[in-house]
Chains A and B, each alone.
Chain A
Amino acid sequence: MAEQFLSIEKIVKSFGGNTVVHGVDLGFGKGEFISLLGPSGCGKTTILRMIAGFERPTAGRIVVEGKDITHLSPNQRKIGMVFQAYALFPNMNVADNIGFGLKVAGIPRDKARARVAEMLALIGLSGFEKRFPFELSGGQQQRVALARALAPRPRMLLLDEPLSALDAKIRVSLREQIRAIQRELGITTIFVTHDQEEALSISDRIVVLNAGKVEQFGTPFEVYNRPASRFVATFVGTLNTLQATVADAAKKTVAIDGQVVTIPALPATARSGETVALTMRPEAIAIANGVPRDIVLDGTVSEVNFLGSVIRLKIDLGANAINLDIFNDQHTPPPAHGTPVRIGIASGDVLVLDG
């Protein structure tokens, strides 16, 4: 892990009597790409705005490279920021927008011009200098906003849901471009999003937030495969739940649909005879056609969703219903609605979540 660059220490933010951030403690390394992920109202944008200096924390402090910046005004923090609504200055052309921060900083005109050209090349918009924001598409505007934020060489980049206003295809290409630029410049970046796929694909580490508290802070792999709480498991990705009865708590066995299987993840607090919820990702379940799995269940296909490379099937198991993903095979059509199927689950892939 890189050295500690930004520390958010026991930060609290209240608006009137309503506390939206509850004592959040986080530390980010230099050059890391961090995503703040959570549903609307979880406090992710408030944390970002406190880092930018647009909101003053009610308690706690923000430290960058060992210096407390909690009470520094936003124009003294040397931070770049890209907003959801682009926020390009409508009265200025692309070159003037990108050069604004340089002009404010008193950079000589020829140096500023060279830097603007460098930034335009970086975002692939060379030749667009004289265009005005209204002459650009949403994706182009957001790239200009990114160049404008990076031009004054900030020590950190904040991205406040920069892809939300764009259509799906541009979102994917722009997020790849953002990540490539971030890697090239090695700039510490904090990215706010409510889109879990976006966060998983782009980040070095993800902070999952819920109701102003950190639910989990880890790599995309950890967050997806080893969710720290039921909230994380359900918010990030799709989760199946099967109701089972603990057969022998000491041996970590449970009974599902008449089968007794060992669940390594069964917590020590489980008691024999009680009902537990076993959870698993759709890709951890397979149609049991020869693949050895220790939990085998019979059901019928109740829904078929063709998603392109993947087909999601909903299997009705009587008391339970689960989703499973199979790869699309262009020579084999997916099972039809009502087809009886046998599914297999590896007990090692099963999670038992509390809360």
Chain B
Amino acid sequence: MKRSRLWAWSLFGIGAAYFLIPLIATFEFSLRMRRGAYSWDAYAAVFADPRFQATFSYSAFIALCTIVVGILLVVPAAYFVRLRLPHLRPIIEFVTLLPLIIPPIILVFGYIRLYNSSSWLPFTGSALATDLLLVFAYATLSLPLMYRAVDTGLRTIDVGTLTEAATILGANQVTILARIILPNILIAVLSGAFLTFAIVMGEFVIASLLSRPAFGPYLQLIGANRAYEPAALAIISFIITWGAMGTIQLLARFAPKTAARID
């Protein structure tokens, strides 16, 4: 018993060290900007950089737009597939997995070819339209995570019976989606939303090739030209991602409870 416990703790320690040592080293390095003493100078330099503020705000806004597009696209689709077309679920699952199989570089070259300024749908013709294209691209990129999060949420409720119960009470499909289905899978939707946020904040390839002033290209630019600031930015990115994950865990506590009391 004691021996197996020792093994378990050893394996856990190796795994933790694998993840934590590079992180601690990066953090320690980010504090060494001032010669001979630890300081937050690298962080101060990053936060003071107007390009950081501009790119961070831009990416955060694009991430919010992506989340809205993702919810509008995925929630009704997953709901109707589960309710009316369950036999199509394997096909839909395969389609939603495609963004994981097709590299973003292929996706963005496809976009540029299809929607260039001389095409009949010239998305890349103006900054606003390109932003829109970026949102759609990110919605596609986050589809595997968003769809799975929403589908998992739908699995926890009896979609068919709740829909029928609301329908017989006079509700239409929009009311059912807005007042019954969405509130009951809100935590799952928010999980998908935070994962989407984390992906968009760090994405480089699509934003760079569409020439948009996003946070990902800024990270790359700083990484190529500075010593201590990239380490500080890496730690900031980690904090954003972990913050998103932590919020998911926190929100899960507020999920509507479906189980009946047994007595």
Within 8 A of B (CB), among A86-114: 86-91, 100-101, 104-105
| Given known A-B contacts A75-B171, A91-B184, A138 and B260 have beta carbons under 8 A apart | yes
User: Which residue of A79, A81, A134 contacts B260 across the interface (Cβ within 8 Å)?
Assistant: A134
| Residue among B157, B169, B259 making CB contact with A100, cutoff 8 Å | B169
Q: Which residues of B contact A53 (CB under 8 A)?
A: 168
**Across the interface, do B260 and A91 meet the contact criterion of CB distance under 8 Å?**
no
Partner of B161 from the list A74, A77, A85 (CB cut-off 8 Å) is A85
Does B28 interact with chain A (Cβ within 8 Å)? no
Question: In the complex, which residues of chain B have a beta carbon less than 8 angstroms from the beta carbon of A52?
Answer: 164, 168
Instruction: List residues 37-53 of chain A with CB under 8 A from any CB of chain B.
Output: 52-53
Contact A105 B260 (CB under 8 A): no
The answer to whether residues A105 and B256 also contact, given A74-B164, A87-B165, A137-B263 and a CB cut-off of 8 A, is no
- Give the complex CA separation of A104 and B168 in angstroms: 11
Contact of B60 with A by CB under 8 A? no
CB distance from A251 to the nearest CB of B (A): 59
Question: Are A136 and B165 in contact, with the CB atoms below 8 A?
Answer: no
| CA A134 to CA B256, docked complex, whole Å | 9
Q: How far is the CB of B165 from chain A (nearest CB, A)?
A: 4
> Which A residues are CB-close (under 8 A) to B211?
none
- Verify if B258 is at the interface (C-beta below 8 Å from A): yes
**Residue in contact with A75 in the complex, picked from B170, B184, B256, CB distance below 8 Å:** B170
Residues of A within 8 A of B157 (CB): 90
Q: Contacts of B259 on A, CB cut-off 8 Å?
A: 134
Asked if B172 is at the interface of the complex by the 8 Å CB criterion, the answer is yes
Closest residue of B by beta carbon distance from A79:
B168
Known contacts A89-B166, A91-B180; is-contact A104 B260 (Cβ 8 Å): no
A133 at the interface (CB under 8 A from B): yes
Q: Which of B131-181 contact A (CB under 8 A)?
A: 157-158, 161-162, 164-172, 175, 179-180
In the complex the two chains form, is B260's CB within 8 Å of A133's CB? Answer: yes
Which residues of the partner chain A approach B164 to less than 8 Å between Cβ atoms? 52, 54, 74, 81, 83, 87
Q: Please give, as numbers and ranges, the residues of chain A lying within 8 Å of B161 by CB-CB distance.
A: 83, 85, 87
Contact A87 B158 (CB under 8 A): yes
Most buried by A among B169, B183, B256, B263: B169
Q: B260 contacts A141, CB within 8 Å?
A: yes
Residues 301-330 of chain A, each 1 if its beta carbon lies under 8 Å from chain B, else 0:
000000000000000000000000000000
Number of contacts between A and B (CB, 8 Å)?
88
Residue B257 is within 8 A (CB to CB) of chain A in the complex? yes
Residues of chain A lying within 8 A (CB to CB) of residue B167: 54, 73-75
Chain B interface residue count, Cβ-Cβ cutoff 8 angstroms: 26
A227 within 8 A of B: no
Cα A132 to Cα B183 with chains together (Å): 14
A89 touches B162 (CB 8 A): yes
Given contact pairs A89-B184, A91-B184, A75 touches B260 in the complex (Cβ within 8 A): no
B226 within 8 Å of A by Cβ? no
Bound-state CA distance A89–B171 (Å) is 13
Note all chain A residues with C-beta closer than 8 A to B260: 86, 133-134, 136-138, 141
Q: Please determine whether B261 and A81 come into contact, CB atoms closer than 8 angstroms.
A: no
Contact of A101 among B162, B170, B262 (CB under 8 A): B170
Most central of A76, A85, A149 by chain B CB within 10 Å: A85
Closest beta carbon of chain A to B153's beta carbon, Å:
12
The answer, yes or no, to whether A80 is at the interface (CB within 8 Å) is yes
Q: In whole Å, how far is A185's beta carbon from the nearest beta carbon of chain B? A: 17
| A135 on the B face (CB < 8 A) | yes
Q: Give A104-145 as 1s and 0s: 1 = Cβ < 8 Å from B's Cβ atoms.
A: 110000000000000000000000000011111110010001
B172 to chain A, nearest CB (A): 6
A88-B258 Cα distance, complex, nearest whole Å: 9
> Smallest Cβ distance from B257 to chain A, in angstroms?
4
- Residues from chain A with a CB closer than 8 A to the CB of B171 are 75, 100, 104
Complex alpha-carbon distance, A52 and B161, angstroms: 13
Bound Cα distance from A44 to B175, whole angstroms: 30
Which residues of chain A are near B168, meaning CB under 8 Å? 52-53, 74-75, 77, 79-81, 149
The answer, yes or no, to whether A148 is at the interface (CB within 8 Å) is yes
CB atoms of B170 and A104 under 8 A apart: yes
Q: Is A212 an interface residue (CB 8 A)?
A: no
Is A162's CB within 8 Å of the partner chain B?
A: no
Closest to A140 in B: B261
What are 12 A-B pairs at a CB distance below 8 A? A52-B168, A74-B164, A81-B164, A83-B161, A87-B164, A89-B162, A90-B258, A132-B257, A137-B261, A138-B261, A138-B262, A148-B169
Closest 10 A-B residue pairs measured CB to CB? A101-B169, A134-B257, A87-B165, A91-B183, A90-B256, A91-B256, A87-B161, A104-B170, A81-B168, A90-B258
